[in-house]
């Protein structure tokens, strides 16, 4: 009972908006894509990207062939708003593969930038960075090889 009362009081204090919110001087937001969930903490700094305690280029290096792909995808919200090198990003990512994790962090960064100022909402929305990609893996059905692939038809 007491826990629910505290939770209600926190929601009343923050108003209608729950996230992004300030946590220990950093702005906290959550991004999701496929099975991946990223908790992003954005604070003023020199533009370092840290994911699960490691630099982003080291964390994603086994999966990405080119560093420019990381630059284009992960820092896209910063390029859109013109804030490259102004904020440090610290993210905790769980679940999914590298593509899902990469895009989950990107969505978290875009949502956290709105917590900095509401002026960034329009350019981020126009670039499509605030829309959560709802595509998930379709489940395998019974009597099928995959989600939709069926056995080969045999006439005789």
- Report all structural domains of the chain as residue ranges with CATH numbers, in order of start: 22-126 (3.30.230.10)
Q: Is the pLDDT of residue 33 over 90?
A: yes
Cα four-point dihedral sign 39, 45, 47, 52: negative
Full DSSP string of 17-32: --SSEEETTEEEEEEE
Helix (H, G, I), strand (E, B) or coil at 33: strand
pTM (2 decimals)?
0.82
Mean pLDDT over each residue of the chain, to the nearest integer: 86
The band of 1, judged by pLDDT with boundaries at 50, 70 and 90, is very low
Q: Can you read off the two tokens belonging to residue 100?
A: 């899902």
| pLDDT score for 61 | 82
User: How many helices and strands, by DSSP H and E, does the chain display?
Assistant: 6, 6
Q: Is the pLDDT of residue 10 over 50?
A: no
């Amino acid at each position: 009972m007491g826990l629910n009362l505290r939770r209600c009081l926190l929601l009343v204090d923050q108003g209608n908006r729950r996230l992004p919110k300030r946590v220990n001087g950093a702005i906290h937001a959550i991004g999701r894509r496929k099975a991946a969930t990223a908790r992003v903490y954005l604070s003023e700094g020199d533009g370092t990207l840290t994911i699960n305690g490691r630099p982003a280029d080291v964390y994603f290096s086994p999966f990405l062939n080119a560093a420019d792909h990381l630059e284009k995808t992960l820092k896209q919200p910063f390029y859109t708003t013109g804030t490259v090198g102004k904020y440090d990003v610290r993210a905790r990512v769980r679940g999914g593969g590298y593509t899902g994790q990469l895009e989950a962090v990107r969505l978290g960064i875009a949502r956290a930038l709105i917590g900095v100022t509401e002026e960034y909402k329009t350019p981020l929305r126009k670039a499509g960075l605030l829309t959560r990609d709802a595509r998930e893996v379709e489940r395998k059905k019974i009597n099928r090889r995959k989600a939709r692939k069926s056995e080969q038809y045999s006439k005789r």
